[in-house]
Structure 1
Amino acid sequence: MASTNPASGRFDQPYTGFAPETTVLAEVTPEEAGLDPAPLRAAGDQLRAWTGSEAVEGHPLFAGAVGTLVHNGMVVDTVTAGSAVRYADGSGTELPANEQVPMRADTIFDMASVTKLFTSIAVLQLVEDGKVDLDAPVAEYLPEFAAQGKGSITVTQLLTHTSGLEPELPLWRDWPDKAARIKAVMDVRPQNRPGTTYTYSDLNLITLGVLVERVSGTGLDEAVSRRITGPLGMTDTGFNPPEAKLDRIAATEYQADPPRGMVRGQVHDENAWSLGGVSGHAGIFSTSGDMAVLGQSLLNGGAYAGKRILREDTVRTMLTNYNTRFPGDDHGLGFELNQLWYMGGLSSPTTAGHTGYTGTSIVLDPQSRSVVVLLTNRVHPSRSWGSINPARQAYATGLARAMAVRPAKGPRAWFSGIGDSRTATLTTPPLAHTGGDLSVDFATFVNSEPTDPLVLEASSDGHRWQPVELRVRGEGAPEGPVTALAGTGHRSWWNVHASVPATGNVTLRWRFTTDGSNTARGNYVDAVRVTADKRVLLDGERQPYAFAGDGFRLLGR
């Protein structure tokens, strides 16, 4: 599709570096951004379907949602679905229709652990000020934190969840007041030696929130307002939202212990609530639009609309993986990296984001200059109704699939973007030859979970299939001979060669199989050429309709 920016809407020509710091969000149609609107519509329709009364095991996946998709500085989609307030109690008794509150684009959500990003930015601002050293022991700024053998834990280890601290403590239940609760965190004993494990811990960010307050001399809420949300114009983002905004706030859970009833307008997290609603790990409320601005400011290298909250080098450091020792737990300074389970088809080693327990998430993909914000109130009325990770994946993958991938050769390529627990095949007609090996060459663009393989198989009878050994060239390609292809993040075409010993009729098929979770963007096959004894048996560019696609479809973009 045409675009004023030749790189706009392209998935296979990744950007390097930051977007221009002058980039300010503007609403456009997907077509104006060079995107295919169909995957965006499908993702939005799926979000709306998940709010249905019987969507999952007799209840909605979530009561309501607001989503915003940004590509190359353009807001290309905003979805509202379901209700901000729907239930009267924890059992799922629906309020009368006239008492329910529909979702709106400016609905305010409890962001839960997405708060950790704001705390992390506040810490890095103090680093830029020369008041905090990332490699320094936390005890240098909070002497009481040295208790119980924590004197060597660094600021970086808190930001990357490698401190060795346990995930959480029931502060709200077991300690009587805020001072005692903070002291309990300072006094906690590490579960593991610092730097030896990855353990996601609220205690890390509670500690960093205290550090920000101690070093800056202001409350964490004031530090965030004065140096992050204020400069960025995020007027609906902050701790402890005012009563005047209650009618726009999405309800969360009905809580019996502690006996809070239906929580709305106060932080859902019990520990943050017991700390007065302001904590480094939870407590921020925000809108989808405000979060899109935060995401774009980071894609811009730390600036937005003439206001800078971080230096470019700081943002670059923030989005660098510090956890190479712990594969699968990639983490920058506050941001998670390369997490397919909610980043979906946008996953890559440079893709950053965070989720929140209440049903919130943000994904930043610097390679396509995209932001995905999905806010739901999935704990309304109960946290026991399940995970919304399928929705997070689907929304991000919708944006990924809306971006074009140029065929490796010619005007068309075969694409399979199947969902979980599916199999797609692309099959040649029987290829007759008199003897000798078949030489098979093709190009493939692979974007799939490591456990979702694309394989090439051969059969002499069309019933019994044998895998074919492949040799692959290209950025991020596997070394040596392999029989399966998978992976995300490289965003480049691979050139593949195979030699198939056979006589008589031989049928080839490409088979792509997904497991029960975590589906990425999907795979392309193109430029297929099969020869034997220098005779061309099949030229996929000249004979595109010779193939039988089941789950694969021929796309021209």
Structure 2
Amino acid sequence: MPSLEQACEYGGSGELSAPRLRSDTPERAGLDPGQLRHLVQEVQNLTLGERPWAAGAVVVVGRGPVIAVEEAAGWAVRYASYDPRADAGVELPPDARVPMTVDTPFDLASLTKLFTSIAAVQQIERGTLGIDARVGAYLPDFRAAAERGITVRALLTHTSGLRPELPLHDCADDTERLAMLRAERPVGAPGTYLYSDLNPLLLQHVLERNTGRTLDVLIHDGITRPLGMTATRFGPCPGAAATEDQRRPWAKADRGMLRGVVHDENAWALGGVAGHAGLFSTGRDLAILCRALLAGGAYGPARILGPDFVELMLTEPGLGFALDQPWFMGELAGRGAAGHTGFTGTSLVLDPATDTFLVLLTNRVHPRRREPDSRPRAAAGTRVARAVRGM
């Protein structure tokens, strides 16, 4: 990670100020233009044909304070519904479709977890939350977690042993949902990695109980407002890219074609604000977050974390972030790249070793979810890695 001196420069007021993002040529960013042209074409190709990998996409690539690529492809809204008999989307008339633009917000799905993790590390930095404190110290009524000695660190690293998810969407009301969470016991051995939506959900309860503020307020006041991420918020978000014609049996609820409301069934059942899903954002806003983390926690005059705590998040084993995962990072993986994916088709990768970031947002679940396939994400990461090496 860069030092504070490397990450910041003096602004006109005499105070330390980290450089803001600006759009410029790949050459000015220190990236090979040929590789980035290939990347843009490959992203466009993902949205073409009768059965595209994704209906639409936005890709943003930058190095240092320079955005070298910011492109949109395909459709924010292409389908009216999904036809299970034809196993295909029912396309809207051309004049009723909504083109994708670089300003289109996306349902971030599990990228929300990164914001929850940053909010937690902010409290750790302030000394109001102990990273190795037991969850039971903050949530004594969550007896199962308290009895097993689950820690804040275990929630941040997915080593609590909690199962991947619970059917909260099938509960009758919030009282029943809360009772289910309170009673949930780990199924895995403590310290063993098991990716789970329940970890950020419990972390949300820890943060809200500890601070007296709701998660949406913590994220707005501590992350998005100081960074100027004006397009990032919990839903509803009416102008967002459409997601799924959500119906059983392929989904867990019958809600019809979704646009501007959270796709994740549990986050929806919880009112749209959840530690694991619910945020909407744009490629440019996520580029700002990436830039801030690569600059040691600062962007413009704002600082959301100190460099040491950013480093804590982005080095083994990672707090909230996945590290060096070739399956979605491609050749960016291997030297400490950090990132995450989201079920709706979203992803971001930041590479401290080369001061580079990649944001790829798609509405891959429009008109319905498919088997997981991160090969295009990995291919995009490889293009960016080769663009760095090419210069």
TM-score (norm 1): 0.65
- Which residues of 2 match residues 434-445 of structure 1 at below 5 A? none
1:123-158: CA deviation from partner (whole Å, max 9, x where unpaired): 111112211100010111111223266441110001
Q: Which letter does structure 2 place at the counterpart of 1:269?
A: D
Aligned to 2:235: 240
Aligned to 1:40: 36
Q: Which letter does structure 1 place at the counterpart of 2:380?
A: Y
Greater relative contact order (Cα < 8 A, sep 6+) = 2
Higher-Rg member (1/2):
1
| Whole-angstrom CA distance in 2 between matches of 1:287 and 1:113 | 15
Q: Where is the helix percentage greater, Structure 1 or Structure 2?
A: 2
Alignment equivalent of 1:254, drawn from 245, 249, 252: 245
Tell whether the 8 Å contact from 2:57 to 2:361 is kept in structure 1 after alignment.
Answer: yes
Aligned to 1:498: none
| Whole-angstrom CA distance in 1 between matches of 2:209 and 2:299 | 28
SS at the partner of 2:280? strand
SS at the partner of 1:363? strand
| Whole-angstrom CA distance in 2 between matches of 1:34 and 1:124 | 32
Question: 1:180 aligned to 2:176?
Answer: yes
Aligned to 1:351: 337
| Whole-angstrom CA distance in 2 between matches of 1:312 and 1:295 | 14
| Whole-angstrom CA distance in 1 between matches of 2:139 and 2:146 | 14
Question: 1:141 aligned to 2:127?
Answer: no
Structure 1 segments (4+ residues) deviating >4 Å: 15-19
- Which residues of 2 match residues 377-526 of structure 1 at below 5 A? 377-384=363-370, 386-404=371-389
Tell whether the 8 Å contact from 1:62 to 1:388 is kept in structure 2 after alignment.
Answer: no
- Which residues of 2 match residues 19-418 of structure 1 at below 5 A? 20-21=7-8, 22-54=18-50, 59-91=51-83, 92-147=89-144, 150-173=147-170, 175-195=171-191, 197-242=192-237, 246=238, 248-257=239-248, 258-322=253-317, 332-384=318-370, 386-404=371-389
Q: Tell me the matched-pair count.
A: 372
1:87-140: CA deviation from partner (whole Å, max 9, x where unpaired): 011220110000100100100000000000000011111112211100010111
- The offset of 1:23, in angstroms, is 2.1
Aligned to 2:12: none
Aligned to 1:467: none
Tell whether the 8 Å contact from 1:337 to 1:349 is kept in structure 2 after alignment.
Answer: no
Q: Which letter does structure 2 place at the counterpart of 1:147?
A: A
1:322-376: CA deviation from partner (whole Å, max 9, x where unpaired): 3xxxxxxxxx111100000111121124110000000000101001101100000
Closer, same or farther in 2 for the Cα pair 1:391/1:150, shift >3 Å? farther
| Whole-angstrom CA distance in 2 between matches of 1:341 and 1:273 | 29
1:431-460: CA deviation from partner (whole Å, max 9, x where unpaired): xxxxxxxxxxxxxxxxxxxxxxxxxxxxxx
1:238-262: CA deviation from partner (whole Å, max 9, x where unpaired): 11135xxx2x310000012422110
| Whole-angstrom CA distance in 2 between matches of 1:267 and 1:219 | 18
Structure 2 residue runs without a partner (length 5+): 9-17, 84-88
Tell whether the 8 Å contact from 1:212 to 1:220 is kept in structure 2 after alignment.
Answer: yes
- The offset of 1:303, in angstroms, is 0.9
Q: Percent identity?
A: 50
TM-score (norm 2): 0.92
Closer, same or farther in 2 for the Cα pair 1:395/1:313, shift >3 Å? same
Aligned to 1:443: none
Q: Which letter does structure 1 place at the counterpart of 2:341?
A: T
Closer, same or farther in 2 for the Cα pair 1:121/1:34, shift >3 Å? closer
- The offset of 1:177, in angstroms, is 1.3
Q: Which letter does structure 1 place at the counterpart of 2:68?
A: V
**CA RMSD of superposed structures (Å):** 1.5
| Whole-angstrom CA distance in 1 between matches of 2:30 and 2:296 | 24
| Whole-angstrom CA distance in 1 between matches of 2:182 and 2:175 | 11
Aligned to 2:11: none
Tell whether the 8 Å contact from 2:2 to 2:296 is kept in structure 1 after alignment.
Answer: no
Aligned to 2:15: none
SS at the partner of 1:263? strand
| Whole-angstrom CA distance in 1 between matches of 2:126 and 2:23 | 35
